[in-house]
A and B are shown apart, each in its own frame.
Chain A
Amino acid sequence: MKILVGTRKGLFIYEGEGTDFRMRQHAFVGEPVSALLDDRRDGALYVALNLGHFGCKLHRSSNGGRTFDEVAAPNYPRNDDGVSLELIWVLESAGDDRPGALWCGTIPGGLFESTDRCASWQLNEALWREPARKSWMGGGYDQPGVHSICVDPRNSAWLAVAVSIGGVWYSRDGGASWTASGAGLRADYVPPELAHRPEQQDPHRIVQCAGAPDRFWMQHHNGIWTSTDHLATWQEITSPKPSQFGFAVAVDPRRGERAWFVPADKDERRVPIGGELLVNRTDDGGKSFVQQRAGLPQANAYDLIYRHALDVASDGCTLAFGSTTGNLWVTADGGEQWIALSAHLPPINAVRISDS
């Protein structure tokens, strides 16, 4: 098993089993990694860079990360609106029946598709031309961005994407048309008249359960929501303590009722409450949560977990997450006990677990 860690100063690759992982490689030393994808269909490893001077780049490895080749980064069509690629934020495989096809979410607000292993990219014009996109806003970054892309395991033409700030959008035709999913969501940061508009929602991250794909979980700016009807409606989950604020979420790929969150205090104070870091896990669809603290610092911790920095393996019990403070933890028992793999990595942007 591998844990891929994208940081402010390069890609770190850990290899091991259980909780015994060792760092095997540090690639792109000193360069900011913004997104990772381990493509289990062909074993390719994709790494997106956000070079401070020279822009966003994409690299692919066919040998587990020993060597990389640069491939094409998405480009926005020429325009007079000042739109230009700012960040490659998420990369996903486009389905088992579409070898070599990938989806990419970007800032500002772009969804791109490649059908040739990133030799080229095409902007998804249907979402780009969606009239409600004009109401999207920056959230964290100055401009809106696509950070979550879910490809339904039952049908690769069923897609869901999430936008900060621009809501959740789904397609049943491979991206030819899009519909907003927002019933039940609430945005407290806009005037009350706009609070329930789908395009005003700020989903920090959405994930879909592979084994029960009608189930989605969302860490939203204003709390936690889940959908059990394939995005028709969302139900707010208010039980987790000490906070419902955060960025990351992971769902057990075998059981949709089980999900993990890493709470921060609140919007205006994005640190663990009282300096105590914990993971919240529900096993019953959000009715109740267990606070997991074993192995995590319980004093003077200021770790924030970014939206792509928590991942769960296909076994449903191995998880890893990394923090802005450069700490990396792993568990082999669903979070009952966490093990620190490192306390001095660079700030961590993204974590992915690879079964290979």
Chain B
Amino acid sequence: MATVTFTPNLARWAETSAMDVAGDSLADVLEAVFVERPVLRGYLLTDQGALRKHVNVYIDAESIGDRQRLTDRVAADSKVFVAQALSGG
């Protein structure tokens, strides 16, 4: 199970405690997150399913490469970090 942690800047809009979820890709991991916390979808992704311009996601401290289709691989023990970019404020 990958562990997903969220920027505390999301806490005023949604539950942001860390979650352990299964999935081989970032898309799978986030879909598992959205099953439990559907409100988070619109905060992290656009209506077209891409990562929002001013949201960053790191997998094991590496910034993801595919912000459109979220195909970056996630290992069983990965740490996924959802961050608020410093741009966009």
| B17 contacts chain A at the CB level, 8 A cutoff | no
Contact check, B47 vs A53: say whether CB atoms are below 8 A apart. Answer: no
B88 to chain A, nearest CB (A): 4
Q: A128 interface residue, CB < 8 Å from B?
A: no
Name A78's contact: one of B43, B49, B89 (CB within 8 Å).
B49
Q: Tell me which residues from 281 to 297 in chain A have a Cβ below 8 Å from any Cβ of chain B.
A: none
Contacts of B55 in A (CB 8 A): 53-54
Stretch at the interface among A68-76, A131-139, A225-233, A307-315: A68-76
Tally of chain A residues near chain B (CB < 8 A): 15
* A75 engages B47 (CB within 8 Å): yes
A53 and B48 contact, CB distance less than 8 A: no
A84 contact set on B, CB distance < 8 A: 46-48, 50
Give residues 54-89 of B contacting A (CB, 8 Å). Answer: 54-55, 84-85, 88-89
CB of A18, distance to nearest CB on chain B (Å): 36
Q: Known interface pairs A53-B52, A78-B49, A85-B46. Does A70 touch B39 (Cβ–Cβ under 8 Å)?
A: yes
Partner pick for A53 among B46, B49, B50, B89, CB 8 A cutoff:
B89
Shortest A68–chain B CB gap in Å is 11
Residues of A within 8 A of B84 (CB): 53
Interface residue? B42 (CB, 8 A): yes
Bound form: Cα–Cα A70–B42 in Å:
11
CA distance A78 to B47 in the complex (A): 7
Does A79 make an interface contact (CB < 8 A)?
yes
Chain A nearest Cβ from B70, distance in angstroms: 15
Question: For A51, A53, A70, A79, which residue has the most chain B Cβ atoms within 10 angstroms?
Answer: A53
Q: Which residue of B lies closest to A86 (CB)?
A: B46
| Chain A proximity of B80: nearest CB distance (Å) | 17
User: In the complex, what distance in Å separates the CA atom of A76 from the CA atom of B42?
Assistant: 13
CB neighbours of A73 from chain B (8 A) = 42
> Which positions in A face B, CB cutoff 8 Å?
51-55, 57, 70, 73, 75-76, 78-79, 83-85
Q: Which 7 A-B pairs have the closest CB atoms?
A: A75-B47, A54-B43, A53-B54, A52-B88, A84-B46, A53-B88, A84-B48
Residues of B within 8 A of A (CB): 9-10, 13, 39, 42-44, 46-50, 52, 54-55, 84-85, 88-89
Can you list 30 A-B pairs with a CB-CB distance of less than 8 A?
A: A51-B43, A52-B88, A52-B89, A53-B9, A53-B52, A53-B54, A53-B55, A53-B85, A54-B10, A54-B13, A54-B42, A54-B43, A54-B44, A54-B52, A54-B54, A54-B55, A55-B43, A55-B46, A55-B52, A70-B13, A70-B39, A73-B42, A75-B47, A76-B47, A76-B48, A78-B49, A79-B48, A83-B48, A84-B47, A84-B50
